[in-house]
Amino acid sequence: MVMQTTRASHDIPAFMPGWLDILALDEGDPMNGLVRAEQLKQLGRAMPFSAAAVLLLGLTLAVIFRHSAAFPVLVVWLGVLAAAVAFGLHKVRLRRAANPDSVPARTIWLSAARALCVGSMWAALFPLLIGFADPQSRAVMSGLHIAMISAGAFAFAAVPLAALLFAGVLVVSLIGMMVALGASWSSFVLIAIVSALVARGVIAHARAIVVHVHAHERLRARGEMIATLLDEYETAGADWLWETDACGLCTHLSPKFAEVIGRPAAEIVGHPLFDPQRSQARNKEELARAIGLKQRFRHIQVGPVVGEEQRWWSLSGTPRFDLLGQFAGFSGIGSDVTEQRRAREQIERMATSDSLTGLANRTAIRSHIQAALDAVSGGGSGGCAVMMIDLDRFKGVNDTLGHSVGDELLREVARRLEGDLRHGGAVSRLGGDEFAVVLSGVNASAARGVGARLVETLSEPYSIRGSAIRIGASIGIAMGVADGATVDDILRAADLALYRAKDDGRGVVRLYEPALHHDAEERRALELALRLAMLENQLSLMFQPIIDLGDGAVVGFEALLRWKHPTLGQVSPARFIPIAEDLGLMDTIGEWVIRTACAWAARWPTNIGISVNLSPSQLVNARLPNVVLSALATNGISPGRLELEVTENIFLNEDGGTRGALDALARLGVRIGLDDFGTGYSSLGYLRTTVFDTIKIDRCFVREAVDANSQSAAIVRHIVGLAASLGMETVAEGAETVEELNAVKALGCGRVQGYFTGRPMLAEDATALVAPARREARAA
Ligand code: C2E
Ligand code: MG
Ligand code: MG
């Protein structure tokens, strides 16, 4: 067997049968059984015609020899022939009724034997009759002999063995007859040509049958396989089948598909399968185009609305054409990919959004910025602004109220930002308490206006889980493309502007300016240097006297931190302390301050107090009480001499950790002072409920209190009255002139701390200032 693997148009490789395949007698090959069945089927089909032809030939002979002595023999012979033909026809009828798929080789042998018998009868008849024929009849008989060879070969052609035996025996008898009659050589040539043509015809016909059977069988096997697969599809698989007619109306669909559509299959058949009006737009067009062009399409996703729900189907389809080449509709498969699609969308969303707030994340905002920059470069109207927003005092909320409240606060911040910018502007959370906003089509002053509005919005009090929380926001703005033409550049510029906003006291909006680059370098250098400052003993304390306004005596000192940078010299605490706080260094540095201040205070008379400033992170550090106790004990100082100063900034909320920490300190017996009063939230409420021993009135009131009719003077008077009623001490901070001193004295302040009465001084000088001998001399 030779299999040709060239691709025919129908996709089935053509089969080229050999001799043995044509004879189909080998029982070992199951295909031969099918071939034999087909051979016999075709033989049966040709049989009535062959029988008629044979009988006609017989009758012709009977007419020719009607007056001959051979007539009775011929009649008998014809009778036998008719019986044989009738038997053959009967056999054929039986076989046709049984219509077997496969037939044993024996049947072919029997057919061949029958053919040989019939052939032999004819082969014997012609030589017998020729003796009785006149010369004219002989010529007719030769013609009939040849006709018999052809007719018989045609009749048995489907079974080549039978056809060849039948024709073969007749050819032999014909040759024998011709020899006996002394025919010319041309007669033999004619016989040879006829024999060759007949043999060739028989073999070609037989070969065609074998090829047909093989092709048919392969198609049937393939069809069966496809049917099985389709069956699998429809019943077990996740996919379903659909079919439409030339008008796009559904002609078939899997029950599973009907289930997905949510309507019985019978209701859908006869209607358009895909309702473009209710499908998602982009893919709808793609599908319509493919269907319109009668083109094969694969995995087109359409988004139909089933019930009220948006679903997603993946569809593949192939156009069908009828025998005339007319378009007959589409057949295809589909599957519901809604879940896969949702999962993919979820992953994409996760990759581009912030899981806590649902805002765009850093990756996504970068694309927004890029698009905004492209729009500006492309000549779009106005510029674009990138805003960096940092929440002020957020860390305090996290530290004091816990991370879950912190998270809730961040979500609320996100809601406010989105609410404020719903008419324009992309909002994202970059991480921590940092947010970014991209505004398109704005100039710098408009961006600054939006920034100021956002600061206001974000600074409104928050109410989270029963706590009233107050935070602020600092904003840095950079304009594209002037401040940065690439995403990285503009983000860096906005970042620098944000640093500036924080350095400038927070709660403000700052626009980028080129000088900020220099500041940023400086800050980075400071950060690095600050980490070494402690280790390299660059930190020191100065002490500023606090004077009693009644008798002018020094009643204490405030310890003020100093940093002498090896090359920059003295760095202001207003500059480096926020950096140290940001770097998380203030807990360590603050502990050193407490211990060092106490160590110096130990050398002073016991009536001289020592005030130490606390950063917010120190206050909520659980170690603080132990540090304080240890510093007091090591230096033998009574707790009442130590005053710890906190600023109003610690009052982010009206309850929680701050108050608890203050109470814990108060229980140690140390004093608590409220520093810079008036610069923070100016909420007098907490004064009534918190255990402050001292209120330090900020310098800004002191300066203006010189005018007795000023609002500041009224406020100071009010605070002093309130403090007195609550048993608190008041200290006026930063009195620089005698007028300021007198003014605060007149307003009732008990104490003063300012340049006029004494600048921050070295510890040794402070010690000398309060040395007993000196005090006595001063008293004298
Ligand atoms: P503060 O606690 O309010 O300290 C008073 C500040 O006012 C000091 O500034 C002091 O030098 C300054 N001052 C005093 N009298 C006058 C005056 O008559 N006129 C003017 N213009 N200023 C006056 P300094 O030393 O620069 O400290 C600034 C701030 O740094 C302090 O403000 C305090 O908040 C913080 N700080 C200083 N040392 C520490 C520390 O050890 N720990 C913490 N956490 N913060 C500290
Ligand atoms: Mg202070
Ligand atoms: Mg102060």
- The verdict on the CB of residue 409 being under 6 Å from ligand 1 is no
Least confident of 253-257, 429-433, 575-579: 253-257
pLDDT one-digit tens code per residue, 107-127? 889 888 988 888 888 888 888
Question: Quick check: 147 and 61 in contact, CB under 8 A?
Answer: no
Do residues 527 and 501 lie in contact, with contact meaning Cβ atoms separated by under 8 Å? no
SS3 310: strand
Count of other CB atoms within 10 angstroms of residue 61: 24
Compute the distance from residue 304 Cα to the ligand 3 centre, in Å: 67
Helices within 636-771 (DSSP H only): 657-668, 685-689, 699-704, 711-725, 738-746, 763-769
128: nearest Cα among 87, 76, 70: 70
| pLDDT confidence tier of residue 229, bands split at 50, 70 and 90 | low
Instruction: Give the distance between the most distant pair of CA atoms in the chain.
Output: 188
Inform me whether the pLDDT recorded for 398 exceeds 90: no
* Range list of H helices, 647-704: 657-668, 685-689, 699-704
Q: Which of 134-138, 313-317, 454-458, 591-595 is predicted least confidently?
A: 134-138
Ligand 2 center to 696 CA (angstroms): 8
Lowest mean pLDDT among 249-263, 491-505, 519-533: 249-263
The rounded distance, in Å, linking the Cα atoms of 5 and 495 is 69
Separation between Cα atoms, residue 693 and residue 213, nearest integer Å: 111
Q: Which single residue is written with the structure tokens 């330090």?
A: 696
Ligand nearest the Cα atom of residue 678? 3
- In this predicted structure, what is the pLDDT of residue 409? 95
Q: Higher confidence at residue 237 or residue 427?
A: 427
- Ligand closest to 614 (CA) is 1
DSSP string, 388-409: EEEEETHHHHHHHH-HHHHHHH
By CB atoms closer than 10 A (0-12, 13-18, 19+), residue 228 is exposed
Whether the predicted pLDDT of 202 surpasses 70: yes
Which residue has its alpha carbon closest to ligand 1 atom 26? 573
| 280 pLDDT tier (thresholds 50, 70, 90) | low
- How much distance in Å is there from the Cα of 451 to the middle of ligand 3? 29
User: Ligand 2 centre from 667 Cα, in Å?
Assistant: 21
Q: What is the mean pLDDT of residues 359-384?
A: 87
d(CA 779, CA 421) in angstroms, rounded, equals 67
The CA distances from residue 688 to 366, 644, 669, in Å, are 49, 18, 19
pLDDT of res. 228: 62
Least-confidence region, from 26-30, 591-595, 725-729: 26-30
Task: Please indicate whether residue 755, judged by its CB atom, sits closer than 6 Å to ligand 1.
Answer: yes
Q: In this structure, what is the dihedral angle of CA atoms 67, 73, 77, 83, given to the nearest 10 degrees?
A: 100
- 164-168, 303-307, 522-526: which has the highest mean pLDDT? 164-168
Residue 237 or 331, more confident: 331
CA distance 555 to 670: 16
pLDDT digit string (tens) for 467-484?
788 899 999 999 988 999
Most confident of 84-93, 362-371, 375-384: 362-371
CA–centroid distance, 697 to ligand 2, in Å, is: 10
- Name the range with the highest mean pLDDT among 178-187, 315-324, 481-490, 761-770: 761-770
Q: How would residue 395 be classed by pLDDT, with cut points 50, 70 and 90?
A: confident
What is the enclosing helix (H) or strand (E) of 297?
Answer: strand 297-302
Instruction: Kindly report the pTM of this predicted structure.
Output: 0.51
Q: How many Å lie between the centroid of ligand 3 and the Cα of residue 756?
A: 15
d(CA 526, CA 582): 12
The span from the CA of 677 to the CA of 778, in Å, is 32
Question: Which residue's CA is the closest to the ligand 1 atom numbered 12?
Answer: 734
Question: Which has the closest alpha carbon to 113: 84, 89, 86, 93?
Answer: 84
Q: Which residue from 664, 658, 656, 694 is spatially nearest to 677, judged by alpha carbons?
A: 694
Determine the average pLDDT of the residues in 2-12. Answer: 38
Please report, in angstroms and rounded to a whole number, the separation of the first and last CA atoms in the chain.
136
Residue scoring higher pLDDT (653 or 575): 575
Nearest protein Cα to ligand 1, atom 19: 734
CB of residue 615 inside a 6 A radius of ligand 1:
yes
Q: Which of 8-12, 213-217, 239-243, 720-724 comes out lowest in average pLDDT?
A: 8-12
For ligand 1, atom 22, the nearest C-alpha belongs to 734
Q: What percent of the chain has pLDDT over 90?
A: 35
* Ligand 1 binding pocket mutation candidate from 560, 592, 619 (most atoms within 8 A of CB): 560
Which one is predicted more confidently, 255 or 751?
751
Average pLDDT over residues 324-348: 84
H, E, C per residue of 139-184: HHHHHHHHHHHHHHHHHHCCCHHHHHHHHHHHHHHHHHHHHHHCCC
Euclidean distance between CA atoms 311 and 304, whole angstroms: 6
**Smallest CA separation from ligand 1 atom 4, residue:** 560
Is the pLDDT reported for residue 234 higher than 80?
no
Give the pLDDT confidence of 439-449 residue by residue, as tens digits: 998 999 999 99
Best CA proximity match to 669, nearest among 695, 632, 634: 632
Protein residue with its CA nearest to atom 33 in ligand 1: 613
Instruction: Give residue-wise pLDDT tens across range 675-718.
Output: 988 765 545 666 767 779 999 999 988 998 999 888 889 889 98
Ligand 1 atom nearest residue 593's Cα: 41
Q: Residue 121: name the closest of 74, 176, 183 by CA.
A: 74
Rounded CA gap, 174 and 185, in Å?
Answer: 13
Quick one: pLDDT at residue 369?
A: 94
pLDDT of residue 225: 64
Q: Which of 722, 645, 653, 710 is nearest to 681 (CA)?
A: 653
Amino acid at 109: W
239 lines ligand 1 (CB under 6 A): no
Average model confidence (pLDDT) across the chain: 85
Q: 135-156 and 105-130 helices cross at what angle (nearest 10)?
A: 180
pLDDT-derived band of residue 427, with 50, 70 and 90 as boundaries? very high
- What's the CA angle centered on 47, arms 45 and 52, to 5 degrees? 130
Give the pLDDT band (50/70/90) at residue 780: low
Mutate to test the pocket of ligand 1, among 540, 594, 613 (most ligand atoms within 8 A of CB): 613
What pLDDT band is residue 2 in, cutting at 50, 70 and 90? very low
Task: Output the CA 543–ligand 3 centroid distance in Å.
Answer: 13
Both tokens assigned to 668 = 């140690």
- Confidence band for 10, pLDDT divided at 50, 70 and 90: very low
DSSP assignment, residue 248? Answer: S
Q: Taking residues 47-72, report their average pLDDT.
A: 82
**Rounded distance from Cα 578 to ligand 2 centre (Å):** 14
653 lines ligand 1 (CB under 6 A): no
Q: Which atom of ligand 1 is nearest to the CA of 735?
A: 18
The residue whose CA is least distant from atom 27 of ligand 1 is 573
Q: Provide the pLDDT for residue 1.
A: 35
pLDDT value at 72 more than 80? yes
Q: Residue 291 carries which side chain, given as an amino acid letter?
A: I
**Ligand 1 nearest-atom number relative to CA 572:** 26
Q: Are strands 694-697 and 539-548 parallel, antiparallel or unpaired?
A: unpaired
C-alpha 599 to ligand 3 mean position (Å): 22
Decide whether any atom of ligand 1 lies within 6 Å of the 705 Cβ. Answer: no
- List, in sequence order, every beta strand (DSSP E) within 443-567: 462-464, 467-469, 472-480, 509-511, 539-548, 554-565
- Check residue 686 and give its pLDDT: 67
Strands 729-733, 751-753: pairing kind: parallel
Rg (CA), the chain: 56
- Give the pLDDT of residue 230: 67
> Picking from 169-173, 319-323, 617-621, 712-716, which range would have the lowest pLDDT averaged per residue?
319-323
Question: Which of the listed ranges 206-215, 221-230, 672-681 does the model predict with the highest average pLDDT?
Answer: 206-215
Q: How many CB atoms lie within 10 A of CB 569?
A: 8
Q: Which of 205, 176, 197, 170 is nearest to 188 (CA)?
A: 176
Q: Is 758 in the pocket of ligand 1 (CB under 6 A)?
A: no
**680 ligand 1 Cβ < 6 A:** no
pLDDT for the residue numbered 293: 86
Residue 753 has pLDDT above 90, yes or no: yes
pLDDT at 144 over 90: no
pLDDT at position 774 is 59
Residues with CB under 5 A from ligand 2 (ion): 613, 645, 675
What pLDDT is attached to residue 12? Answer: 45
**Which residues contact residue 217 at a Cβ distance below 8 angstroms, ignoring those fewer than 6 apart?**
31, 34
